[in-house]
Amino acid sequence: MSSAAHTSLAGRLDNLTIDVGVEGGRAVLVLRGDLIHGSADTLAGALARLPDGTERVDLDMTGVAFMDTTGLQLLEVLDTYGRRRRIQVTATGWNDQPRRILEMAGLDPDDPLHGPGTHREPVPAAVVMERAEQLDLLRTEVEQLRHAIVTRPVIDQARGVLMAACSCSPDQAWDVLREASQLSNTKLREVAAVVTAEAGGGGGGPLPSPELRQALRTAIERCLN
C-alpha cells in the first residue's frame, strides 16, 4: 500500500511516497522523497487507510532528503492521530537537512514527537521570540536550498570547468564561484553561467562585466593559492 504527493517544482524535487506495512497491530510507514507542501495530506490519507486495531504507528524517515517548514505539519498530523486513538506514534531516522530543520524548530531530531521542545506547558515570551527568529532564518535557508536545486545544473557545469581549467577540487571550485559572487555582488547562477559560456567560446552567453572578470581572477588567486 503506498501514497504519493506531487511537488511544485516540476519534478526537480522528489515526489513523496509512503510504503505501508502492517503486522501484529504495528504499522510501519516508510517515507521517501521530500517533505514539502502537500506531504501532510499524503500522510493523513495513509493513516486513514490503516486497518482497525492498529496499536502503533512508526514512521521511517531515512528516505527523506529534503524538508521545508511546511513539512513540520506532517508531525502535527501524526501526533494528532496518535492522541486521538491513544496509540504510540514515532518518526525516526531523520538525516542531514531535515535534522537541521527540526533542530532549528526547537525539536529533538532523534524523537521530535516526545523529546525536548514538545512539552505542552506555556512557553516564556523570550523563548517564543527566539524560536520565531530561528524559523525566519530557517525559511530563508530553505528558500536558498530550493533555489540551489533549480540552479544546480549550471553551477555543476561551472565547477567542472574550473576543476579542469585550474586543476582544483570540487570544493575549491565551489569556493571560487561563491567568492566571485560575493566580490562582484552577482548572483551565483549568473557567475556560473559566465564561466560555462567562457569555456564554450563565449558565443551566445552572457557578457561578463569588468567587475566580474576581476572578481573571478581574485577568487581564483585567493581560493587556489
User: pLDDT tens across 30-62, in order?
Assistant: 999 888 878 889 999 999 999 999 999 999 999
Q: Do residues 160 and 100 share a domain? A: no
Residue 98 lies in a domain: yes
CA distance 219 to 213: 10
Domain residues for 176?
A: 147-224
- Cα–Cα separations (whole angstroms), residue 209 to 83, 151, 187, 189: 60, 21, 13, 15
According to DSSP, the residues that pair with 141 across neighbouring strands are: none
User: pLDDT tens across 118-167, in order?
Assistant: 544 444 445 445 655 666 666 666 666 666 555 678 888 888 888 888 88
Residue type, 95: N
Residue 31 lies in a domain: yes
Identify the domain boundary among 104, 131, 158. Answer: 104
How many independent structural domains does the chain possess? 2
